[in-house]
């Protein structure tokens, strides 16, 4: 027989599991919250195929759906995403939901470059 706390620990472990390797990566980030029109800007601290963490003093609400743009050098990645984690005055974790084909090619190129040993 499992205790309630044991069940909660397992459930939260599954919920918090990351499915993509994260790489340190700095890109300018702009997030537009679709419902309210609120904006948040910052710089990514890490990037994966499934999302990123945006360091930003002003964050959006958890579960907010956003239209996001990441800029690095002369390349951009545009996506539809959802805010999954908020650390007030630190930043927010964003999960990518949909990326257009051109942006996806750019994201894949960024990740491939980060995978290479330097």
- pLDDT, greater one: 17 or 90: 90
Contact indicator for 75, 50 with CB cutoff of 8 Å: no
- pLDDT, greater one: 2 or 85: 85
End-to-end CA distance of the chain: 50
DSSP string, 42-62: EEEEEE-SSEEEEE-SS-PPT
What pLDDT was estimated at residue 20? 84
Full set of structural domains in the chain with CATH:
20-115 (2.40.10.220)
pTM score of the predicted model: 0.83
What pLDDT was estimated at residue 116? 86
- pLDDT, greater one: 38 or 15: 38
């Amino acid at each position: 027989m499992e205790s309630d706390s044991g069940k909660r620990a397992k459930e939260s472990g599954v919920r918090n599991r990351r499915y993509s390797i994260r790489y340190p990566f700095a890109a300018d980030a702009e997030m537009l919250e679709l419902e309210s029109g609120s904006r948040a800007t910052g710089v990514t601290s890490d990037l994966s195929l499934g999302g990123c963490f945006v360091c930003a003093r002003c964050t959006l609400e958890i579960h907010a759906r956003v239209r996001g743009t990441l800029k690095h050098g002369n390349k951009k990645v545009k996506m539809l995403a959802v805010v999954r984690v908020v650390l007030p005055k630190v930043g927010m974790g964003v999960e990518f939901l949909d990326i257009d084909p051109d942006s996806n090619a750019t994201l894949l190129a960024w990740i491939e470059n980060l995978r290479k040993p330097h």
